[in-house]
Amino acid sequence: MAASSSPPIMVNSCTGKMGHATAEAVVRAGLQLVPVSFTGASEAVAVGNVGVSGIPVELVHPDERQSAMQNLKAQYPGLVLIDFTLPSVVNDNVAFYARNGIPFVVGTTGGDREQLMQDARAGNSYAVIAPQMGKQVVAFQATLELMAQQFPGAFAGYKLEVTESHQRQKADTSGTAKAVIASIAKLGAPISEDDIVKVRDASTQTERLGVPEEHLGGHAFHTYRLTSGDGDVEFVFQHNVCGRSIYAEGTVDAALFLAKKVAEGSEQRIFDMIDVLKAGAMR
């Protein structure tokens, strides 16, 4: 299947915070945003469309998505889909995309990830599937993992302390923090996931961690502090992310990367954000 390196991009679901932010990033990048979004039944009933940077985007009920998909494939050659929906529906969505032979990027977390990958492969689909779309955060994770592989035990005898702060609605421990401590464990400073300090209290976030009040509803402040046994040496790795633009922009880069792979007829069809980074596919 041929595709343009600057494809029309469709975002599902534009009514969600990440979907809406990603659709806005598509427009900011000067790319064509397809003015249609597959969404949940309750959302489609509530409103007929949602505005994205002044563009009215029609919401399509799940019962109508197959007929809509046929029209979209004809109307938008080289179409790439982006999925930022919900864990409860992401598996059904991926199976649908694969059946229809549409390249897709999945930033939605959760769901049955093993089944998701099986469905993508069974459909012989082109896809980028990753739980973390922030390209700089992914690069940071990959760098630590590379360090761990090259210099195992480099921080033996050090104590690791981890604090991660996210919006109140995020009940689970950050997947990024889990991945990072796995790499640091190989460097010789292991801790358990239960040792990660989760901060969800607004006053602590603003007063102690410095989270801007306007970003309490969407941020990722992580600190990884390594201290030598005698307390004389300290290393600190930190990232403070406000808002969702880092993830939205990384997702757009992934869509452009995927379109290029389709156009090249790449034998590899399933990718992650490490593949995107290695290709230098970043604006």
Question: Which residues are marked as active site?
Answer: 166, 170
Residues of the chain with CATH 3.40.50.720: 9-133+245-278
Look at residue 174 in the predicted model and tell me its pLDDT: 87
Q: Which residues contact 38 (CB under 8 A, 6 or more apart)?
A: 12, 13, 60, 62, 65, 68, 93
Please, where are the H alpha helices in the chain?
A: 17-28, 41-46, 65-75, 90-99, 113-122, 135-150, 175-186, 202-207, 245-264, 273-278
Note the pLDDT tens digit of each residue in 152-172: 999 999 999 999 999 998 878
Look at domain 135-242 and name its CATH class. alpha beta
pLDDT, tens only, 177-232: 999 999 999 999 999 999 999 999 999 999 999 999 999 999 999 999 999 999 99
Pairing of strands 80-83, 104-106: parallel
| pLDDT for position 46 | 52
| Selection from 83, 134, 81 nearest residue 242 by Cα | 134
Residue-wise pLDDT for 264-276, tens only, equals 999 999 999 999 9
In CATH terms, the fold of domain 9-133+245-278 is: Rossmann fold (3.40.50)
Question: pTM for the complete prediction?
Answer: 0.85
Tokens of 116: 């998701």
